[in-house]
Amino acid sequence: MRVTITARHCTLSEEVRERARELLGRIGKLVPRARAAQAIFSEAHGTASVELLLRATRGQVLVGHADGADHRSALDLAADRVRRQLDKALPRRTGAARRRAAARQGSPE
Q: Which residue has the higher pLDDT, 17 or 102?
A: 17
Residue 95's pLDDT is 62
What is the tens place of the pLDDT at every residue in 41-100? 999 998 999 999 999 888 889 999 999 999 999 999 999 999 998 888 766 555 666 677
The Cα 94–Cα 34 span in angstroms is 23
| Entry pTM | 0.77
Count the helix, strand and coil residues of the chain and give each as a percent rounded to the nearest 5: 45, 30, 25
Question: Could you confirm whether domain 2-105 is CATH 3.30.160.100?
Answer: yes
